[in-house]
Amino acid sequence: MKIKSAHFVMSNSDVMKCPSEPIPEYAFIGRSNVGKSSLINMLMDRKNLAKTSGRPGKTQLINHFKVNDNWFLVDLPGYGYARVSKKDKNTFQKYITNYFQQRQQLLCSFVLVDIRHEPQKIDLEFMQWMGENEIPFCIIFTKADKLKPKVIEKNVSEYLKVLTDSMWEEAPQHFVTSSSKAIGRDEVLNFINLINEEFFKAG
Ligand code: GTP
Ligand code: MG
């Protein structure tokens, strides 16, 4: 898919105030600092469309970006950010869970995990919650530029095995990406394109 246009639409903490257009939507979620905003910029081939930072906790709201005038990308805050207070954590959880449970346009979400790390409890619990709520998602492994191909392969297969050994009959679809090297860009965009085509065909 060619990206002809991509622009910021709005930031929100209330799912009811998000854009109302009934067009396909894809959300990016995962731990703070995993590379959600960087990945969005890489996919869109725009440097500063989504705000990134070396310090966790940069993205704070539900951010909508409109792409090619007919679909939305959504940049979300990270979970597992240790420095926020308990009260803030609860508020965050509420508006993010509301978003996932109530957003009709959301066709698929991407749960990002750092390819260098073993499966973390917080990610596994989040995926389990998505499964229980029947919210479709894929896994995106990020920062693949940090590892050699052999190690990437090993880490990915070990990660997926943890999923199939626990609650998942089948591992979710996955992508290996690097925002700094634009690895996985075509794969993710083609996947989104396929879902978009199905959506518009169904009318
Ligand atoms: P929050 O908004 O705080 O939840 O973080 P985020 O998940 O949006 O992460 P962000 O995109 O801001 O990136 C966090 C840090 O990781 C930044 O320093 C990025 O430069 C770095 N980073 C992101 N993606 C990659 C990647 O593919 N490779 C490498 N080497 N670094 C990356
Ligand atoms: Mg971010």
The pLDDT profile of the chain, 203 residues, written as one tens digit per residue, is: 999 999 999 999 899 999 999 999 999 999 999 999 999 999 999 999 999 988 888 788 999 999 999 999 999 988 876 566 777 777 777 889 999 999 999 999 999 999 999 999 999 999 999 999 999 999 999 999 999 999 999 999 999 999 999 988 999 999 999 999 999 999 999 999 999 999 999 87
Specify the pLDDT at position 63.
96
Q: Are 115 and 73 in contact (CB under 8 A)?
A: no
pTM: 0.96
Class of domain 6-202: alpha beta
Q: Which residue is associated with the tokens 């792409």? A: 67
Chain segment 81-105, per-residue pLDDT in tens: 656 677 777 777 788 999 999 999 9
Cα(104)–Cα(39) distance, integer angstroms: 24
1-26, pLDDT tens digit by residue? 999 999 999 999 899 999 999 999 99
Report how far residue 129's alpha carbon sits from residue 173's, in angstroms, rounded to the nearest whole number.
Answer: 17
User: d(Cα 155, Cα 144) in Å, to the nearest integer?
Assistant: 11
Ligand 2 centroid distance, CA of 155 (Å): 24
Ligand 1 lining (C-beta closer than 6 Å): 32-38, 52-54, 56-59, 77-78, 142-143, 145-146, 178-180
> Which chain residues have CB less than 5 Å from ligand 2, an ion?
36-37, 58-59
Task: Please give the backbone phi and psi of residue 10, each rounded to the nearest 5 degrees, phi first.
Answer: -165, 160
Q: What is the per-residue pLDDT for 175?
A: 98
pLDDT, residue 81, reads 67
pLDDT at residue 198, as a whole number:
96
Ligand 2 centroid–CA 203 distance in Å is: 33
